[in-house]
Amino acid sequence: MNLLETRFVSLGRTVIQPLFKGTCVYETRCQVCGFCSQRFSSFLELDLKVSSSNLEDCISHYLAEEFLTGDNRYACPTCLEKRDGVRRMRITETPLMLCFQLLRFTFDVRSGRRVKQKTPIRLPDILDMTDFVTPTEPNSTYGRRKGKGG
């Protein structure tokens, strides 16, 4: 879609962005001090791993929190050292037309090859994204520090 957008922009028009652009925020929270870093971004499609046989579960898996521990700890700018953390992505605004790319290939360590997941995915007649969208709030509790009003 980026190529299409580039071609239309060169003509002085934009078609793709107004229809397919959604917004999200990537958040990483320190488990010790509660500091939360946020990076706002936009997307044209969501790349979903085939982790279930229905689309809603694949979306939930995509948005699930990731715990940063051990060698993968978070370098907290407040604590000034590596700490356990939690990372997540939140969809803050859905586009008019939401596209999903199903990532059906996984890497098999034993064989050293890519393997295609052939699980059929059930698609709902109407996809209600209400449970998956959390608009940006100025005083989100996810980003508050412990002991400072949160």
- Has this prediction a pTM greater than 0.75? yes
- State the Cα–Cα distance between residues 112 and 101, nearest whole angstrom: 24
102-149 pLDDT, tens digit each = 999 988 899 999 999 898 999 999 999 999 999 876 544 444 443 333
Q: What was the pLDDT predicted at 1?
A: 61
pLDDT above 70 coverage of the chain, percent: 82
pLDDT-derived band at 67, boundaries 50, 70, 90: very high
DSSP reduced 3-state for 57: helix
DSSP per position, 115-128: EE-----B--SS--
Q: What was the pLDDT predicted at 147?
A: 36
Token pair in block for residue 133: 């969208």
pLDDT at 14 over 60: yes
For 21-124, CATH number?
2.20.210.10
From the CB of residue 53, how many other CB atoms can be counted at a distance below 10 Å? 11
pLDDT above 90 coverage of the chain, percent: 71
Burial of 22 (0-12, 13-18, 19+ CB in 10 A): buried
